[in-house]
Structure 1
Amino acid sequence: MEGIVYLRLKRKLEIQNLMELKLKDIALISSHSNEIVHELENIKLYRVTEKDKELIVLDSFLIIKHLAQNYPNIEIQLLGPEQTIVKINKNKKSPSILIMAFVWILLFIGTAMTIINFHYDVSMQEVQQKLHFLLTGEENEFPLWIQIPYSFGLGIGMILFFNHWFNKRFNEEPSPLEVEIYNYQKSLDDYVSFHENKLNDPKHPH
């Protein structure tokens, strides 16, 4: 027995071009022997071709089976994920400025209409008028000294809630939107692993 090799698969890998995947591309390897680690890192597992679509799922069981056949004196200990999802970004194009502008305007108008309808449903203007009357004893149809700070506060509150100002983050805490995106991506990866696992045998890279 040459020793124990610890193998931790990467949960997800993105590649730009067709390439030959080696063990070091999809996994982290640790062992007492640097020579064994170097040799295992350069093992060829899978060749990405034009026949592959956008996703490839490599299963840890087949990888360990391949390693056990070729290195019977090594004990493989698997840590972490049991599969690696390889995403192939073929012919990735830059987003169109016109499309981005159209989507931005569409989202801006939709958000504005949502806020306006919400304020109409809760009679926000009447509430502000009554608040003005309670504080000053005078009636005013447009209490701007309340409405203007409220409008700025609404925008600032949204920025603080999402914890982003363009590419700048205010602190390391993830925003609710980032958490939802993470949960969605995790569910999507689990679905891909369950339904689209090709179970490619690593000992026959094509």
Structure 2
Amino acid sequence: MPAGNPPTAETAVTTAVENDAPLRVAVVIGSVREGRQGRAVADWFLDTATGHDSLDLDVIDLADTDLPLVMPGWGGSPSPETAAVLADVSPRLAAADAFVVVTPEYNHSFPAALKNFIDWHHSQWQAKPVGFVSYGGLAGGIRAVEQLRLVFAELHAMTVRDAVSLHGPWSGLGEDGTPRDAAVCEGAAKGMIGQLTWWGRTLRSARASHPYQG
């Protein structure tokens, strides 16, 4: 098998600079329900992740992102209102090196608003890692995460193994938004962030040297 072109010094320097740059992580808050716990859960995660200097966090709250359920036909264009929303969020997804999805569990799955947001995009997800912070009842939202893993696999994204799962956030979060079992949750977040960072840096370098053709 031919070896291909060896890396040049310029390529090596560029890759090193990229690997030293902060990892751009888009944190998507997937619930839009009134009285939701999603913002409190996301704020706790953001406080936890902010301690990692290697991360550059960008919050995309779907409660502030009004995308219609009806999409234009194949080859069609969205309405001016929808185009304006996409002009804000789509470049942020494209610029991200990795994603964290904060999701509740609704009826053994995840919210319709989150699926709609995911479906409005495609190439922005490709060849990038996705981590999850889920919350719900006894299952802690893990069934929503299992459904999301299938969706992101179809979009050529890579979901990291470890996730953060909060059980009963309506009673499990203190008044300051900190989980009552903080040590367990922070340990889970640390593991997930570590995996997300490794995959984010690795795939960023891979996309730079070999653009994904999926």
TM-score of the superposed pair, with normalisation by structure 1: 0.23
Give the structure, 1 or 2, with the largest relative contact order (CA under 8 Å, sep 6 or more): 1
Q: Specify the structure having the higher radius of gyration (Cα).
A: 1
TM-score of the superposed pair, with normalisation by structure 2: 0.23
